[in-house]
Every structure is written in structure tokens, then in C-alpha cells.
């Protein structure tokens, strides 16, 4: 699902709102105790082997495809992008959507239902597989808290939205904290590292193929 942008936060009873975690977006392919983390470009993240092992252990009897974000967190639970980029911190996987489980393709199910199924799937006990919680309607309040705690921002998602891989369609919108401290100098930092380019609007055709293959 493509993540687009809007400039200002809003309140609406038909929408839910999540914290925007600052990390690497990934699909998690979980299969009976094993997991693979795959980038937006369809490449396996090879630098997080222990996270993949731990994520598989969190869902030992489950076959599922999750959408989420690989992050490093500080003692207050805030994303620390440089810790992740330079592999200095312990990585976690924040799951915010469930696309497929046990032979059932959920992409045509409403987001509200998908998140409810995901919530029941992720254990409440402490692990490196985390559930990305949300609030409903009160986007402005969550945005204010995100700015107060120097977080990247929030994401607004329509509660009845489907998971569509069409590049021209989305019901997910990022609302960035304009004063977010960790964004300063990031473009120059990426240029120095010559990190493989992963454009924000990159296609998720690999997601559709993966779900189709799993169904087969």
C-alpha cells in the first residue's frame, strides 16, 4: 500500500491514526517458526538475521504476511533512525497490517478488520515483534503528541480501506512533524553512504505476487 502525504492533521470518525515510526518498511513472511523480511524493492534484508529468527519465534505456528517497519528504539520507545542505519541498536519489527494468513488473502478486507486480526496475532508479552496500535478519529491530538515527543509524525488510514497495490490509489497518508530533529541532514547522509535508493513511491507489485503465490 502506497503511503502518500497531506500537510495538516485532521479529525474524522471514519479514520484511524498511528504513530509514524522512522525505520525501514518491510514485509514479514512468516511460515511456521521462520520469517523473512523483504524490502519495498523485493530484496531480503540480510542484515537483520536475528530479528527474522525472533519474529519467527513470536509466530511459531502461523503462516502469514505482515506489513510493518523495522526500527531501533530508545529507552522511551522512540525510533532512532541512525541506530538502525548504522546497525548500532537492537532492531524491532512494528507490524501495522496483516495481508494474508493461513491461506486467506485479506487485502480486500477492511483495514479495521485486518488490524483486529493482527492485534490477536501479536502476543502482548515482550518480544521484538510489536503491534503498531492506533487511535480513532482524533488525529490532531495524536499529531500534537508526536510533535511534543519529537517523533516523525503520524499516519492517517481510512478504517474501511482495502490494501491496494495500485500506484495511483491509496487511503494511507503521512503527516510529518515539520520540526522533526532526526530528518536534518538525512539526504546528505544517504549520499555519503551511497545507500541503494528506495523511493517512497516504489511499487508493491512484489506484495501482490507474494500473496498470490501464498494462496496457491
CA–CA dist 154, 146 (Å, integer): 7
CA–CA dist 177, 181 (Å, integer): 9
Grid cell 541503494 is found at 196
Least Cα distance to 140 among 158, 156, 157 occurs for: 156
The arithmetic mean of pLDDT across residues 7-28, rounded, is: 97
The arithmetic mean of pLDDT across residues 166-170, rounded, is: 77
Domain map of the chain by residue range?
Answer: 4-191
**Structure letter (DSSP) for residue 109:** S
The arithmetic mean of pLDDT across residues 68-73, rounded, is: 98
CA–CA dist 173, 101 (Å, integer): 25
Question: What pLDDT, on the 0 to 100 scale, is given for residue 185?
Answer: 77
pLDDT category at 126 given cuts 50, 70, 90 is confident
Average pLDDT of the chain, as a whole number: 88
Question: What pLDDT, on the 0 to 100 scale, is given for residue 21?
Answer: 97
CA–CA dist 162, 98 (Å, integer): 11
186-209 pLDDT per residue, tens: 866 665 554 444 433 334 445 545
Whether 78 shows a pLDDT value over 70: the answer reads yes
Whether 212 shows a pLDDT value over 60: the answer reads no
pLDDT category at 84 given cuts 50, 70, 90 is very high
Element (H, E) at 77: none
Residue 192: how many CB atoms within 10 A of its CB? 9
Query: Cβ contacts of residue 133 below 8 Å, gap of 6+?
Result: 18
Q: Which of 39-43, 45-49, 71-75, 193-197 has the lowest mean pLDDT?
A: 193-197
Grid cell 478504517 is found at 159
Which of 20, 115, 157, 159 does the annotation list as catalytic?
A: 20
Architecture category of domain 4-191 in CATH: 2-Layer Sandwich (3.30)
Question: What pLDDT, on the 0 to 100 scale, is given for residue 204?
Answer: 42
For residue 55, give Cα distances in angstroms to 34, 43, 88, 167. Answer: 8, 18, 19, 29
pTM: 0.86
Give the CA dihedral 148, 17, 182, 125, nearest 10 degrees: 90
Question: What pLDDT, on the 0 to 100 scale, is given for residue 103?
Answer: 93
- The answer to whether 70 touches 45, Cβ cutoff 8 Å, is yes
Question: What pLDDT, on the 0 to 100 scale, is given for residue 191?
Answer: 55
CA–CA dist 64, 104 (Å, integer): 9
Give the CA dihedral 65, 135, 142, 28, nearest 10 degrees: -10
Active site includes 20? yes
Grid cell 481510512 is found at 158
Residue 209 or residue 116, greater confidence: 116
173-190 pLDDT per residue, tens: 999 999 999 998 786 666
Amino acid at each position: 500500500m502506497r503511503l502518500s502525504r497531506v500537510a495538516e492533521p485532521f479529525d474524522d470518525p471514519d479514520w484511524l491514526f498511528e504513530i509514524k515510526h522512522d525505520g525501514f518498511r518491510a514485509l514479514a513472511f512468516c511460515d511456521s517458526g521462520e520469517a523473512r523480511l523483504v524490502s519495498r524493492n523485493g530484496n531480503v534484508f540480510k542484515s537483520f538475521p536475528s530479528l527474522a529468527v525472533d519474529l519467527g519465534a513470536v509466530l511459531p505456528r502461523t503462516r502469514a504476511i505482515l506489513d510493518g517497519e523495522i526500527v531501533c528504539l530508545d529507552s522511551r520507545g522512540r525510533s532512532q533512525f541512525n541506530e538502525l542505519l548504522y546497525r548500532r541498536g537492537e532492531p524491532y519489527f512494528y507490524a501495522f497490517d496483516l495481508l494474508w494468513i493461513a491461506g486467506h488473502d485479506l487485502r480486500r478486507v477492511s483495514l479495521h478488520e485486518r488490524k483486529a486480526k493482527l492485534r490477536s496475532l501479536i502476543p502482548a508479552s515482550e518480544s521484538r515483534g510489536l503491534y503498531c496500535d492506533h487511535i480513532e478519529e482524533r488525529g490532531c491530538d495524536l499529531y500534537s503528541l508526536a510533535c511534543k515527543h519529537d517523533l516523525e509524525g503520524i499516519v492517517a488510514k481510512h478504517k474501511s480501506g482495502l490494501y491496494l497495490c495500485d500506484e495511483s490509489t491509496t487511503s494511507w497518508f503521512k503527516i510529518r512533524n515539520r520540526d522533526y530533529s532526526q530528518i536534518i541532514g538525512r539526504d546528505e547522509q544517504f549520499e555519503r553512504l551511497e545507500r541503494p535508493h528506495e523511493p517512497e513511491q516504489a511499487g508493491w507489485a512484489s506484495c501482490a505476487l507474494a500473496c498470490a503465490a501464498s494462496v496457491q
